[in-house]
């Protein structure tokens, strides 16, 4: 029997599709409860974003109606116990790759665990993605989360990459500056330009593991956003009071490193991303990061988060030397819908 066929009507026990208009606020409560032990602010910012959206009322109804099954807004399945939302799996279309789907917010209330609820919700989400012709479905799980890992392994997910998330608390301020091993290199950092597309593409292809490129192929067009995308970003930046910066460092006639930063004036943490060509690793991380931290000094003193590929240990240690701490390591997992059957694991009855 298909897991999805177990969908029940409201106010009985069982599964039904997520409805953004009524489920967002109870989902925020569930996520807050289930991820309460997380040592970072990521969960808090997701929860407060959900609560903010839930309060927008008519705007939320309009957004949900305009999505009309496209999948770019939050979807997925919830598990109801009476009128109480006790389980959730979110399914959305990836914002950059239309045939890639993303699972997140996998959560079951502690009183309802080990009854097969998560497995059934995931099975329903995977079948949904398969029906929408998903090329792959991806999710992220903390390396040490054995319970979730066991569940995902069982369903057939496999790891395609791993990234570390690092955080520097606000109180560290801008004092923990790096002493750069290549003093001249910092001055060679320049703003990313429109003509950098090809060079950036080459760089990304060199640093991205083949399995990750199979999931998210590196495309030149990603570095050439259209007018609509640029306007969207400007509007978002204005609404959320933030500013983006993107810089490159050239070596040997090509782009050897990329630094991207989002600085926040009000709501959230600063975000950093640092990519260095394998042949230049160990030399360019310090000048770039030192440059980036100086740029961030113009923003209010807020926590800063960085995402670094686990295949780039030189960047990890450089961030750590400048006051960042590794908060968690995330395994990125994928499943191909072609490997899905009607009931991938023989979901419990």
Ligand X SMILES: CC(C)(COP(=O)(O)OP(=O)(O)OC[C@H]1O[C@@H](n2cnc3c(N)ncnc32)[C@H](O)[C@@H]1OP(=O)(O)O)[C@@H](O)C(=O)NCCC(=O)NCCS
Binding residue (CB under 6 A) for ligand X from 60, 151, 188, 197: 151
254-264 and 270-276 as β-strands: parallel, antiparallel, unpaired?
antiparallel
Please state the separation of Cα 10 from the chain's center in Å: 31
Question: Two tokens at 52?
Answer: 């903010």
Element spanning 271, H or E: strand 270-276
Which span (52-60, 143-151, 251-259, 301-309) binds ligand X, by CB under 6 A? 143-151
Residue 334 makes contact with ligand X by CB under 6 A: no
**How wide is the angle at C-alpha 87 spanned by C-alphas 86 and 91, nearest 5°?**
145
- Does position 113 interact with ligand X (CB under 6 A)? The reply is yes
Residue position matching structure tokens 């990836």:
94
Residues binding ligand X: number (CB under 6 A): 18
CB of 245 to ligand X, least distance (A): 31
Distance CA(209)–CA(187), nearest Å, equals 30
Among 43, 64, 148, 214, binds ligand X (CB under 6 A): 148
Check binding of 327 to ligand X (CB under 6 A). no
Question: Do residues 206 and 277 make contact, with C-beta atoms less than 8 angstroms apart?
Answer: yes
Output 27 or 106, the one with its CB closest to ligand X.
106
Tell me: does residue 13 bind ligand X (CB under 6 A).
no
One of 21, 131, 150, 219 touching ligand X (CB under 6 A): 150
Hey, is 76 helix, strand or coil?
strand
Whichever of 17 and 254 has its CB closer to ligand X, that residue is 17
Using the contact rule CB under 6 A, the part of the chain among 148-156, 178-186, 200-208, 221-229 near ligand X is 148-156
d(CA 19, CA 17): 6
Minimum separation from the CB atom of position 324 to ligand X (A): 23
Q: Is 31 in the site for ligand X (CB under 6 A)?
A: no
Q: Does 84 bind ligand X (CB under 6 A)?
A: no
Contact status: 47 vs ligand X (CB under 6 A): no
- Under the binding rule (CB under 6 A), the answer on residue 318 touching ligand X is no
Report helix angle 146-155 to 117-131, nearest 10. Answer: 40
How many other CB atoms are there within 10 angstroms of residue 190's CB atom?
11
Structure-token pair, residue 34: 């289930």
Q: List interacting residues with ligand X (CB under 6 A).
A: 34, 106-108, 113-119, 141, 145, 147-148, 150-151, 154
């Amino acid at each position: 029997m298909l897991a999805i066929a177990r969908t029940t009507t409201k106010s009985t026990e069982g599964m039904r599709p997520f409805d953004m208009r009524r489920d967002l606020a109870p989902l925020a409560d569930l996520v807050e409860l289930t991820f309460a032990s997380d040592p970072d602010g990521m969960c808090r910012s997701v929860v407060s974003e959900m609560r903010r959206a839930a309060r927008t009322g008519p705007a939320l109804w309009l957004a949900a109606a305009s999505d009309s099954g496209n999948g770019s807004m939050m979807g997925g399945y919830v598990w109801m116990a009476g009128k109480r939302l006790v389980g959730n799996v979110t399914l959305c279309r990836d914002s950059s790759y239309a045939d890639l789907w993303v699972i997140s917010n996998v959560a079951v209330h502690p009183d309802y665990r080990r009854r097969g609820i998560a497995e059934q919700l995931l099975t329903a989400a995977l079948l949904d993605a398969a029906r929408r012709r998903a090329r792959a479905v991806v999710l992220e799980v903390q390396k040490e989360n054995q319970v979730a890992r066991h569940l995902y392994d069982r369903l057939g997910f496999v790891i395609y990459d791993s990234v570390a998330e690092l955080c520097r608390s606000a109180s560290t301020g801008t004092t923990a500056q790096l002493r750069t091993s290549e003093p001249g290199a910092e001055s060679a950092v320049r703003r990313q330009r429109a003509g950098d597309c090809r060079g950036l593409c080459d760089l990304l292809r060199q640093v991205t593991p083949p399995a990750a490129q199979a999931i998210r192929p590196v495309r030149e067009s990603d570095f050439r956003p259209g007018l609509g995308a640029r306007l969207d970003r400007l509007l978002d930046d204005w609404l959320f009071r933030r500013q983006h910066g993107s810089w490159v460092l050239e070596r040997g006639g090509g782009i050897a490193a990329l630094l991207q930063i989002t600085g926040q004036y009000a709501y959230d943490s600063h975000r950093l991303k640092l990519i260095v060509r394998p042949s230049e690793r160990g030399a360019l991380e310090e000048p770039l990061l030192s440059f980036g931290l100086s740029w961030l000094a113009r923003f209010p003193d807020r926590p800063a988060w960085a995402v670094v590929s686990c295949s780039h240990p030189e960047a990890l240690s450089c961030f750590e030397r400048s006051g960042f701490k590794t908060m968690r390591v995330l395994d990125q997992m994928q499943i191909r819908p072609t490997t899905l059957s009607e009931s991938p694991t023989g979901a419990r009855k």
